[in-house]
Structures are given as C-alpha cells and as structure tokens.
Chains A and B, each alone.
Chain A
Amino acid sequence: MADTKKVIFKIHRGETVQGQFASRTEEFEVEYGRSTTVLQALESIKADQDGSLTFRRSCCASICGSCGMVINNRSRLACKTKVRELVDGVADKNLPASDVIEIAPQKNQPVLKDLAGDISNFYEKVDTINPYVQEGKEADKQVNKSSFEQVNMVSNCIMCGCCYSDCTEMAASPEFLGPAALAKAFRFVADPREGHKTERLKELSEKNGIWDCTRCGMCVDACPKDVAPMEAITKLRTRAMEAGVTDNPGAKHAIAFKNDIAKAGMLNEPMLLLKTLGVSGAIGQLGNALHLAKKGKIPSIFPHKVEGVQEVENIFKELDANPIEVETKQEDTGPGAG
C-alpha cells in the first residue's frame, strides 16, 4: 500500500483466570490508509498478529451496534471511527489529535474478555421501561405527521451501549436506568398511541430515573446515531411536570426557578433549598450550610432585585395567556430527520 502510515494500537485486554479478572495492556503496530477504520485495524491485528484478540463486530456499517468500545477515552463505534482521523484530530467530530490509539472495553459493565463486555445489565434496564406501546385510556388512535418529529431521533437507537458506557451518573450510581433506557422511555411517552403516559412519567420520576441524570452531556457526544439521550431526558422532565408529577425534589427544584426569576430576577438560594427539600430536608442540610458559612458563603435571603424585572413577569404572563410550542427543533423535522 503506497499511502499507508503506521501507528501503535494500545489495547486493554483481559480475561478471567481462576475466578479473578486479570487485565493487561498490549501494543500492536498497525498500518493504515486514508479510509482504514478502527474495526479494520483490529481485524488485521487478529488476522496477522494475535488471533486470540476478542471483540464483537458484525455489520461494519454502524447499524448493528456490536462494536461499541472505548477509543481514545470515549465510547465510539469501531466501524465508524477512522484511524487517520484519530491520528490527525478532527475538531468537528470531537477527535483530538493523538500519537497512539488506545482501545478499551466499554465502561460501566463487567468485561468478559478483552474488548467484549457483559451487556446484560444494559439490556435489562431497557427492558424495565416496557419498551412497547401499551393499551390504555390515554391512547390516541390518530397519529399526526408531527408526532414523528418527537420520536424520530430516539427511534434511531441501535443499542450499542456507547451512552451507557460514558454515562458519568452510571459510574457513580450503577442502579441508574441510564441514557439509552430513558431515551427509549421517551420514545413511548411521546407516542400518541401509548395508553399509560402519565403512569410512565410517574415511574420514571422515581429514584434512578429521569431526575438522577447529571446533565453532563456525555451521552449526546457518545451516541453515534444522534439520539441525544440527554435531550430526551430533559423532555421527559418537562412532560412529567406538565402531567403534574411534581412531588419529588428534582421537579420542585426546577419549578422554584421560575418564581425566583419573576420575583427578583435572581435565584434566592436559601429558599431554593427549602422549596426543593422541604423543611425537614432543609434542616438536614444545616451541616452543609454551616460549613459554607465558615467562609462567608451564605447568600442573603433577600437577593438584590435586578432592574426591569417587571419585564420578566410580563413575559411569563404573556406566555401563560398565549403559550407557544418550542419542543420540536427545526433539525428534527422535514426530510432527512431521524
């Protein structure tokens, strides 16, 4: 091959020996050309250098979702990621330039061998949200064309697990339902034919559900199919509050903002605490408050009022009188969307 270059692949490998997982890192030199994908590079290592290297793959066209793995510190599809772009760096594709290509199995789940993880938790969580349209009294028989605008993007999920692997909440709290399952849940809440929308929103508002997301955005960057799970989670929060599912700290916290902004323009942080957690919850925060007070970090309960705050009240009044629909982004509509 005339135009080929060489690069080192540093691969995190491992297997279970006598009940103990033993990991190691191995380096392989790989030749690559303009269009060589990470998956092709791994195939060449397996064919020419070490036949025991284990990874999943099937379609080679970012449809099956089998080859999700951590490539230079982010979960990506090996078949969709070009070696040249990893080496050179492409800002638009969120790829910093790198001398070495580091490959590891997906995070937030156990490793079976080398790059193949045990993805059963991921699947089980998707299963817990009942991933199908349910019969029920909220079901609408008519499906408008515009209904697709909401479900288009989330229907693109190929269950590759990249979002689950990069999720920062999952890393700290393994019981979290996770971005893929919640995006899937939104797909059904947003489907006019679904019969139990409110019940779903109630269940999703419980612990390990929509309010546990940190909004870190990792899932949006990780998703190779532009599902943008965090956006779906945000929309679920909006719909839950609209449906009156507000008796939880997450919803109470979100709702408190509007009132503060209309009243003074600024957040009233001590009151925010009280409104989010209630009196007993706020008392539980006394330790934290005293700790902050040591450094003079207790804000006034009467924050300075910003100029022209009446305008904000006018805006809210106008929107209450004549609501406008802003949920659907332009990019989610029309030909080519979804």
Chain B
Amino acid sequence: MSKNGLNYAYYPGCAAKQIQKEADWSARAISEKMGIKLHDMPKATCCGAGNLQEHDPAAGLAVCARIFSQAEEMGMDICTICNTCLQTFTFANERLKNEPELLEKINEVLAKAGVRPYMGTIDVKHLIWVMVDDLGVEEVKKHVQKPLNGLKVAPFYGCHALRPHEVFNGRGGQAPQYLDTIIGALGGESVDYNGKDKCCGFHTMLVQEDTFLKMSGGHSLEAKREGAEIMVSPCTLCDMALGAYQARSEKFLGQKIELPEMSISQLVGTAFGLDHKKLGFNRLHQNPENVFKSRGVA
C-alpha cells in the first residue's frame, strides 16, 4: 500500500511548525520508534488551508501541485498530521488526478514559474492511516511498553479527515475507525460520544468566537460525561480548539471541563514509554500526568 517502503514526505503543516509544536515532536518520535521514516520537505509552503482556495481557486490548486511535485520528486507519498492540510491536499489531488486538462493547465503555470510539473502519482495520507494501513496495527502493538490499562480515551476525529467521504476513498466517513483502532492497540478503551465526528469549530474561531467556544467546549463536556478521562485528536487545529482553548471555553460556558486533550501521537508516545518532556507534555493546557498515574501508566 505504501509507495516507497515506509518512507514519506513529511508535511506537518503551519500549526505544528508554529503553535502546536508538540504534535510535530511526538509524531517524529513515534515514527522513529515504528520505523516510519519521515523526510522533511524544505520547499513546502502552507497548503492554503481552504482559505487560499476560496480566495483564488487556481492559485490554490497550483500551490498544492507544487508541493505534490516535490513529494513526487522524492518518490514518496505525503504524510501529514493536520486534518485541514489533509483535506485541502485531497481536494486538489483528486481533481488533478481525475481531470487531465486541468492538470495540464496547472502544469503550464508551474513550468512558467520554474517548478517541476506534477505527474499525478502521489497519495496524501494522515499519519494514523499510515500506522493502520501501511504499517499495520499488530506492528504498532509491538512497541507498546506501557499499555494504557483500560484508560478511557475519547477520540475526536475532526471533520477534515472524514468528509466529504467520497474524496477519501473509503478512509473517511462514518465507517473507518482509525483512532478507535489505535486506542485499542495501546490498551485503552475508546469512549463513544455524539461529538466524536463533529466539528471542533476552529475554522469559525475568528469569525464567531462564541459559536466556536460553545462547539469545542460542548464536545469536551459531552465526552467527559460519557466517562472519558482524556481526549485525543489527529489534527493540530482540533488540538488547539479542544486543548489550548479549553480554558476559554470553560470561561464562556461558565463551568469547568478539565479534560486533558492531546494529539494522538502524544498518546501513542506515552504508551511506547517515551519521555513525556520529549512528547511536549509541558505545552498542554490540561496536565494529563495524574490521569496516566491513576491508571498505572507512569
């Protein structure tokens, strides 16, 4: 299923490079442990996050095609840890692969700009897809040194790795359960709650802050009500909404949430027995140490 062994052109996204650095650190650390080789893309720009694509759709496609071309030159698929990057890329890749005339037009622009043309041969994957589909969950299990001992984990999937389900070729929508599979492999127990595949509200943060805080805080409260001791997300933007902004949601909603939230890579790293500092625990707004201790995952 993988193009080039377990070698990937690694695209952490702007949030992981600037604000959610812990997601990047832990993704690199667990990948190293699992033998997934993440290769940097020094020429890769921001994907446009759907915003550039709205403002200037042709430029949005060309910027993505330029990034795909770099991965193609490296001979690798792209692996990302941000859902919005994943969806923005997937939208572009789907069109460039299926519309030969469009690909030709975009390649003309790339050529004039001095960029290698894109041949339409790469796939864009999330790290959690790589872990389950390319590496295999049995392989993941082999690296577990500190099983989660039934820790109740609320998976928060994030819209942009799920919908529209058609573009994700069976990897999105309601049916696949990547986070649940990984949580189970680590010895945790997945908590089912209505909000797990809903919207964290991140993309309305600046346009309507109240709605955003109501959404993100609401999901965390619900997960906690259903027994969650911790929440994880595969998306750096959901991490920000549900973790970094949790105290803001508490203030807006007028009630405490106190549900530690972290990137799925940080949870995997914990079960792999990696150093919590290396996983960036000190950057989390809700300290998860006591939760892990209470389950004997210290």
Is B110 part of the contact surface with A, judged by Cβ < 8 Å?
yes
Residue of B nearest to A267 (CB): B14
User: CB distance B283 to A326 under 8 Å?
Assistant: no
User: CB distance A315 to B62 under 8 Å?
Assistant: yes
User: CB distance B114 to A311 under 8 Å?
Assistant: yes
Cα distance A97–B123 when bound, in Å? 27
Residue interface bits A179-219, CB-to-B below 8 A is 1, else 0 = 00000000000000000000000000001000110111110
* Cβ contact of A94, chosen from B58, B175, B285, cutoff 8 A: B175
User: CB distance B170 to A92 under 8 Å?
Assistant: yes
Cα distance A299–B24 when bound, in Å? 15
Query: Please, which residues of chain B bring their CB within 8 A of the CB of A173?
Result: 208, 211
Query: Please, which residues of chain A bring their CB within 8 A of the CB of B110?
Result: 315
Is B55 part of the contact surface with A, judged by Cβ < 8 Å?
yes
User: CB distance B109 to A318 under 8 Å?
Assistant: yes
Is B54 part of the contact surface with A, judged by Cβ < 8 Å?
yes
Residue of A nearest to B163 (CB): A217
User: CB distance A238 to B54 under 8 Å?
Assistant: yes
Is B3 part of the contact surface with A, judged by Cβ < 8 Å?
no
Cα distance A221–B194 when bound, in Å? 17
* Cβ contact of B199, chosen from A73, A96, A169, A330, cutoff 8 A: A169
Nearest Cβ distance between residue A215 and chain B, in whole angstroms? 5
Query: Please, which residues of chain B bring their CB within 8 A of the CB of A126?
Result: none
Is A141 part of the contact surface with B, judged by Cβ < 8 Å?
no
Summed over the interface, the residue pairs from A and B with CB atoms below 8 Å come to a total of: 218
Cα distance A221–B214 when bound, in Å? 24
Residue of A nearest to B213 (CB): A172
Query: Please, which residues of chain A bring their CB within 8 A of the CB of B199?
Result: 168-169, 214, 216, 218
* Cβ contact of A266, chosen from B46, B57, B109, B165, cutoff 8 A: B46
Is A329 part of the contact surface with B, judged by Cβ < 8 Å?
yes
* Cβ contact of B55, chosen from A238, A300, A318, cutoff 8 A: A238
User: CB distance B214 to A249 under 8 Å?
Assistant: no
Query: Please, which residues of chain A bring their CB within 8 A of the CB of B42?
Result: 306-307
Is A1 part of the contact surface with B, judged by Cβ < 8 Å?
no
Query: Please, which residues of chain A bring their CB within 8 A of the CB of B17?
Result: 266, 303-304
Nearest Cβ distance between residue A2 and chain B, in whole angstroms? 30
Classify the secondary structure of A's interface with B. Answer: helix
User: CB distance A253 to B51 under 8 Å?
Assistant: yes
User: CB distance B45 to A266 under 8 Å?
Assistant: yes
User: CB distance B207 to A269 under 8 Å?
Assistant: no
Is A145 part of the contact surface with B, judged by Cβ < 8 Å?
no
User: CB distance A258 to B59 under 8 Å?
Assistant: yes
A contacts with B, residue count (CB < 8 A): 81
Nearest Cβ distance between residue B44 and chain A, in whole angstroms? 6
Nearest Cβ distance between residue A239 and chain B, in whole angstroms? 10
Query: Please, which residues of chain A bring their CB within 8 A of the CB of B112?
Result: 314, 318
User: CB distance B207 to A249 under 8 Å?
Assistant: yes
User: CB distance A95 to B174 under 8 Å?
Assistant: yes
User: CB distance B208 to A212 under 8 Å?
Assistant: yes
Is B34 part of the contact surface with A, judged by Cβ < 8 Å?
no
Residue of B nearest to A240 (CB): B54
Is B52 part of the contact surface with A, judged by Cβ < 8 Å?
yes
One of B141-149, B242-250, B255-263 contacting the partner: B242-250
Most B CB atoms within 10 A — which of A89, A94, A287, A299?
A94
Cα distance A237–B17 when bound, in Å? 28
* Cβ contact of B46, chosen from A234, A265, A315, cutoff 8 A: A265
Most A CB atoms within 10 A — which of B55, B159, B211?
B55
Residue of B nearest to A251 (CB): B55
Cα distance A267–B49 when bound, in Å? 10
User: CB distance A267 to B46 under 8 Å?
Assistant: yes
Query: Please, which residues of chain B bring their CB within 8 A of the CB of A249?
Result: 206-207
Residue interface bits B113-149, CB-to-A below 8 A is 1, else 0 = 1110000000000000000000000000000000000
Query: Please, which residues of chain A bring their CB within 8 A of the CB of B55?
Result: 238, 241, 254-255, 257-258
Is A17 part of the contact surface with B, judged by Cβ < 8 Å?
no
One of B95-103, B183-191, B225-233 contacting the partner: B95-103
Residue interface bits A242-282, CB-to-B below 8 A is 1, else 0 = 00000001100111111011000111010001001100000
Nearest Cβ distance between residue A24 and chain B, in whole angstroms? 19
Query: Please, which residues of chain B bring their CB within 8 A of the CB of A309?
Result: 45
User: CB distance A277 to B45 under 8 Å?
Assistant: no
Cα distance A318–B207 when bound, in Å? 32
Cα distance A213–B197 when bound, in Å? 17
Residue of B nearest to A330 (CB): B99
A172-B211, A307-B43 given as contacts; is B54 within 8 A of A292 (CB)? no
Cα distance A96–B95 when bound, in Å? 27
User: CB distance B43 to A306 under 8 Å?
Assistant: yes
Cα distance A276–B207 when bound, in Å? 9
Query: Please, which residues of chain B bring their CB within 8 A of the CB of A261?
Result: 45-46, 48, 52, 63
A89-B175, A254-B55 given as contacts; is B102 within 8 A of A326 (CB)? yes
Query: Please, which residues of chain B bring their CB within 8 A of the CB of A163?
Result: none
Is B273 part of the contact surface with A, judged by Cβ < 8 Å?
no
Nearest Cβ distance between residue A250 and chain B, in whole angstroms? 5
User: CB distance A257 to B18 under 8 Å?
Assistant: no
Cα distance A250–B203 when bound, in Å? 10
* Cβ contact of A220, chosen from B50, B101, B163, B170, cutoff 8 A: B163
Residue of A nearest to B170 (CB): A91
Cα distance A287–B101 when bound, in Å? 49
Complex A-B: 23 CB contacts under 8 Å = A91-B175, A94-B165, A169-B211, A172-B211, A172-B218, A207-B208, A211-B207, A214-B201, A221-B164, A228-B164, A238-B54, A253-B206, A254-B54, A258-B56, A261-B52, A266-B45, A276-B206, A277-B206, A294-B285, A297-B244, A306-B43, A315-B109, A319-B109
Q: A314-B113, A318-B109 are in contact. List 6 more A-B contacts (CB 8 A).
A: A74-B174, A168-B159, A168-B198, A214-B204, A317-B113, A330-B99
Q: Which 5 A-B pairs have the closest CB atoms?
A: A217-B163, A314-B113, A299-B18, A265-B45, A216-B199
